[in-house]
């Protein structure tokens, strides 16, 4: 999809939308897919958003004009086998290091990651 902007009465410029890709060193492949567990780790989250947006699923994020808070279209707490989420009950685990990898994947909305 291309966006066309009118610059002057007879001048058209074509702009390609930004493509979401993981970053990589020149001449090398990205290693983002080797570390998906770091995507929601509070220690690495900022780095992963900058370096590995595709792997971490940050490409579909939009910014609302009103709040300027980033919201992912897929940001939802996961449901258990009973069809219900218990994220509100276990919110206190969001910052407990031993539970972080699991709780941050299961409860990103409740843990404030989106």
Give the residue ranges of DSSP H helices in the chain: 45-51, 53-56, 100-106
pLDDT digits (tens, 9 = 90+) for 26-62: 999 999 889 888 887 888 888 888 999 888 887 765 4
Secondary structure of residue 85 in the 3-state scheme: coil
Q: Domain for residue 79, yes or no?
A: yes
Same structural domain, 57 and 80: no
Q: Domain for residue 96, yes or no?
A: yes
Q: Which residues constitute the domain of residue 47?
A: 32-61
Q: Domain for residue 66, yes or no?
A: no
pLDDT digits (tens, 9 = 90+) for 98-109: 887 788 788 888
Q: Domain for residue 14, yes or no?
A: no
Q: Are 111 and 94 in contact (CB under 8 A)?
A: yes
Q: Domain for residue 56, yes or no?
A: yes
pLDDT digits (tens, 9 = 90+) for 59-104: 765 443 333 344 454 688 988 889 999 999 999 988 887 887 788 7
Q: How confident is the model at residue 8 (pLDDT cuts 50, 70, 90)?
A: very low
Determine the Cα–Cα distance for residues 101 and 18; give it in Å rounded to an integer: 30
Q: How confident is the model at residue 2 (pLDDT cuts 50, 70, 90)?
A: very low
Q: Domain for residue 51, yes or no?
A: yes
Q: Residue 87: its pLDDT value, please?
A: 93
Same structural domain, 76 and 109: yes
Q: Which of these, 113, 114, 112, 93, lies nearest to 102 by C-alpha position?
A: 93
Count of the separate structural domains present in the chain:
2
- Rounded to the nearest angstrom, the gap between the alpha carbon of residue 7 and the centroid of all alpha carbons in its chain is 33
- Burial of 48: CB neighbours in 10 Å, binned 0-12, 13-18, 19+: buried
Determine the Cα–Cα distance for residues 27 and 53; give it in Å rounded to an integer: 19
Q: Domain for residue 42, yes or no?
A: yes
Query: How big, in percent rounded to 5, are the helix, strand and coil portions of the chain?
Result: 25, 15, 60
């Amino acid at each position: 999809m291309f966006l066309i902007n009118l610059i002057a009465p007879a001048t058209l410029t074509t702009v390609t939308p930004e493509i979401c890709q993981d970053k990589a060193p020149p001449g090398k492949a990205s290693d983002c897919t080797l570390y998906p567990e770091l995507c929601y780790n509070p220690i690495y989250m900022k780095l992963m958003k900058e370096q590995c947006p595709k792997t971490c699923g940050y490409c579909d994020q939009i910014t609302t004009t009103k709040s300027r808070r980033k919201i992912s279209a897929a940001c939802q707490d996961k449901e258990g086998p009973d069809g219900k989420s218990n994220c509100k009950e276990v919110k206190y685990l969001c910052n407990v290091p031993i539970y972080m990898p699991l709780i941050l994947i299961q409860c990103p909305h409740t843990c404030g990651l989106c």
